[in-house]
Chains A and B, each alone.
Chain A
Amino acid sequence: MLVCLVIAAVAFNAPATWAANAAQPKHFVLSLVNGALVGAPDTIRVKQGDDVELRWTSDKPMELHLHGYDIEVKVAPAAPAVMSFSAKIPGRFPIEPHGQEQGRHRAVIYLEVLP
């Protein structure tokens, strides 16, 4: 009985893992309220090679910087911004708003690109 459960669990997970091996488009919609993310986890995980698109909306004008990939976008209430790139570099990259003082932990979200 236990063996059947284990096999079933593996079988259900397997297709998802296989599909993830090929480069996949990954889209995320991220809303900022007062400089902080709502309704999203601390970290987004994608696989190396995926095509990633991050759509940002914000209730205040802000500049966001994705470290490592060095992508910057300006987002404003009337103008949502998009970060679109191919996740070629593996690692854990913070997305930080510009203009804050040094030394404060201020990443809005982390992007983890797994190998």
Chain B
Amino acid sequence: MFVCSAAPPVQSHGFGQRFDLPLPLWLWLTGAGATIVLTFVVMALFVKERPVDARYPRLDLLHFRVVRFVANRWTVAITRTLAVALFVLTVCTGLFGNQDPYSNLATTMIWVVWWVGLAFFCALIGDLWRLVNPLRTIYASAAAVYAAVARGKTLSLNRRYPRLLGTWPAVLVFLGFAWGELVWVNKDVPRQLGVALALYAGFTWLGMFVFDPEAWLGHGEAFTVAFGVLARFSPTQFVPASGDRSRPRLDLRPLGAGLITSRPVSWSFMVFVLLMLSTVTFDGFQETSLMQRVDTVAESSHALSTLLFDMSDWGFDETRVTHTFVLVAFAVAFVAIFWFTSWMTLRWITGRLRRGGRASELTASETACSFVLTLVPIAVAYHLSHYCSLLVTAGQFVIPLASDPFGWSWNLFGTAGYKVNLAVVSPYVFWYGSVALIVIGHVIAVYLAHLAALRLFGRHALIGEVPMLILMVAYTTLSLWILAQPIVG
């Protein structure tokens, strides 16, 4: 099998480049068609049935001795220590190691193993980040040492986290992170990554110091929130021991069940979820020729080009400015379109609810915040399809990097000469797998939307959910369309 060199020339560009072939036309049209047909099929199934209970079956895995044996305190401690070690190693290799992106552990660790690999794990298995977050472990260790030394005092000002602040800090951080991932030209420069990591760690620890640490993590730490959203889709949930329950539970549950809520989520959380969805979609859209056309139009428009020219004096590249603008535009568009759909849903349903004698006190806010999580399965499916090949090819870089993380010609485990195999996954697997995943994600989303509609609208659920279903079909079709576009730029 043909292999590609693991250490291309020094002026390397395009770390994380994907060589995926676009979906064939017939395949993506079939996928879109299947999406529409299955939406009707699922709705038809609901017409005949009695209202479905929103409770879902759970199986406590910790019931089984094998699981208790494997998932004991020592395994957790070792995993956390390993995560801290990897974090410190990543910062060090970024700051001090070889600055070629392919020879430095930092680039692969952050953009492939952590952001893609951990996202896969959290979406498909469970919330691993909650468990191993190195920033949390380091802070907790420092707090324990402080408590031992300073006779029981806590390492935190423990200011009450203001409810109004919600998850807005996480929204801002995540927007910045998305910009860094999708638009920033220096995202592959190890030293800049090392600095960014160190700064973010400092910022997080500051938040944990000022407020209650767990409150900050749950509201302000963008990645705890982001991986948490993905993990709601996953089939496992860890429920810690609390007052009336002496033992923690590790529940096995149906895929997507964690996205069912009994109450609407907060406004800032809704915006966070929509931001996540919009950045995932923009990630793919950015590589299409349509985006290239937007770039060309921006450069050729007189008004814009004068503005861009002025900005280039300040060191901003024209395409980067355009892409930043479109990234933000996507986020705003997602919130606006979703809000509009919720408003339409309400207009659609209010008449019926009143005629049925049900007083309707629902607001567009409540509707939006009740339905937003149901879109997550579509985004998860698209994200998995978009990144699977990267995980499989660029993920192989871990093998030579394990022997030489700093790029200083070490060979700790003898694998430094390993050459990445780009032909490891057949395009057919990628094509059929992607379409299957996205259609399945869509069906799960439709089902979840039905459950949300039942909770809000009672027996008018089927009618009430129509605007949302139209939105879902459009979103799924957009995802498929993006996968069918040849990658440019």
Chain A positions within 8 Å of B, measured between CB atoms, are: 43, 67-70, 72, 86, 88-93, 96, 98-99, 101-105, 107, 110, 112, 114-115
Query: Could you tell me if B422 and A68 are in contact, using CB atoms closer than 8 angstroms?
Result: yes
Chain A residue numbers with a CB within 8 Å of B14 are 67
Question: Quick check: B185 and A103 within 8 Å, CB to CB?
Answer: yes
Chain A interface helix/strand/loop/mixed: loop
Query: Residues 1-12 of chain B: 1 if any A CB is under 8 Å from the residue's CB, otherwise 0?
Result: 110110011010
On whether A104 and B319 interact (CB within 8 A), knowing A88-B423, A89-B2, A90-B21, the answer reads yes
> Contacts A88-B2, A98-B11 given: A105-B489 contact, CB under 8 Å?
yes
Give chain B residues whose Cβ lies under 8 Å from the Cβ of A86. 2
Contact, CB under 8 Å: B295 / A91: no
Question: A70 contacts which chain B residues (CB < 8 A)?
Answer: 4-5, 8
Given A104-B319, A105-B292, 4 extra CB contacts under 8 A? A92-B21, A99-B11, A103-B185, A110-B488
For residue B17, which residues in chain A have a CB less than 8 angstroms away from its CB? Answer: 67
- A99 contact set on B, CB distance < 8 A: 11
B426 close to chain A: CB less than 8 A: yes
- Shortest CB distance A4–B (Å): 25
Provide 29 A-B residue pairs closer than 8 Å at the C-beta atoms, listed in order of the A residue: A67-B14, A67-B19, A68-B4, A70-B4, A70-B5, A72-B9, A88-B423, A89-B4, A89-B19, A90-B423, A90-B426, A91-B19, A91-B422, A91-B427, A92-B19, A92-B20, A93-B19, A102-B185, A104-B319, A105-B292, A105-B319, A105-B489, A107-B488, A107-B489, A110-B486, A114-B21, A114-B427, A115-B426, A115-B427
* Interface of B toward A, CB cutoff 8 Å: 1-2, 4-5, 8-9, 11, 13-14, 17, 19-22, 185, 292, 295, 317, 319-320, 422-423, 426-428, 486-489
Chain B residues, CB < 8 A from A115: 426-428
A22 to B273, CA, bound (A): 49
| CB–CB B423/A89 < 8 A | yes
User: A67: which B residues are within 8 A, CB to CB?
Assistant: 14, 17, 19
Which of chain A's residues have a CB closer than 8 A to the CB of B427?
Answer: 90-91, 114-115
**Contact A91–B20 (Cβ < 8 Å):** yes
- Contact residues in B for A88 (Cβ distance below 8 Å): 1-2, 423
Distance (whole angstroms) from the CB of B204 to the closest CB of chain A: 29
CB neighbours of B317 from chain A (8 A): 101, 103-104
- List chain B residues, Cβ under 8 A from A68: 4, 19, 422
Query: Is chain B's binding surface mostly helix, strand, loop or mixed?
Result: loop
How far does the alpha carbon of A91 sit from the alpha carbon of B430 in the complex, in Å?
A: 11
With A103-B317, A107-B488, A110-B486 as known contacts, state yes or no: A69 contacts B2, CB within 8 Å.
yes
Inter-subunit contact B2/A92 (CB<8 Å): no
Residue numbers in A under 8 Å from B11 (CB-CB): 98-99
Q: Which residue of B lies closest to A45 (CB)?
A: B21
* CB < 8 Å neighbour of A89 from B9, B319, B422, B489: B422
A101 to B312 CA separation, bound complex (whole angstroms): 14
CA of A28 to CA of B20, assembled, Å: 23
- Complex Cα spacing A103 to B187, Å: 11
Cα distance A29–B64 in the bound complex, in angstroms = 66
* Nearest CB on A from B2, distance (A): 4
Q: Which residue of A lies closest to B487 (CB)?
A: A92
Chain A residues within an 8 Å CB radius of B13? 96, 102
Whole-angstrom distance between the Cβ of A87 and the nearest chain B Cβ? 9
Q: Is the CB of A103 within 8 A of B320?
A: yes
Residues of the A chain whose Cβ atoms lie less than 8 Å from the Cβ of B19: 67-68, 89, 91-93
Contact A112 B21 (CB under 8 A): yes
User: Chain B's nearest CB lies how many Å from the CB of A30?
Assistant: 18
Among A89, A93, A107: residue with most chain B CB under 10 A: A89
Closest to B189 in A: A102
Residues of A within 8 A of B5 (CB): 70
Query: Which residues of A are found within 8 Å of B2, using beta-carbon distances?
Result: 69, 86, 88-89
Q: Do A92 and B22 contact each other (CB < 8 Å), given the known contacts A67-B17, A110-B486?
A: yes
The answer for the CA separation of A115 and B487 in the assembled complex, in Å, is 17
- Nearest to B17 among chain A residues (CB) is A67
B291 to chain A, nearest CB (A): 9
Q: Which of A89, A90, A102, A105 contacts B488 (CB 8 A)?
A: A105
Question: A105 contacts which of B1, B22, B295, B426 (Cβ < 8 Å)?
Answer: B295
Distance in angstroms from B315 CB to nearest chain A CB is: 12
CA distance A76 to B319 in the complex (A): 30
For B2, B185, B292, which residue has the most chain A Cβ atoms within 10 angstroms?
B2
Distance from B450 Cβ to chain A, minimum over Cβ atoms (Å)? 39
Select from chain A the residue with minimum beta-carbon distance to B421: A89
Contacts of A102 in B (CB 8 A): 13, 185
Give Cα distance in the complex from A90 to B426, angstroms: 7
Q: What is the CA–CA distance of A85 and B295 in the complex, to the nearest angstrom?
A: 34
A100 CA to B270 CA in the complex, in Å?
A: 41
Q: Which residues of A contact B486 (CB under 8 A)?
A: 43, 92, 110, 112
Complex-state Cα separation, A70 to B487, whole angstroms? 18
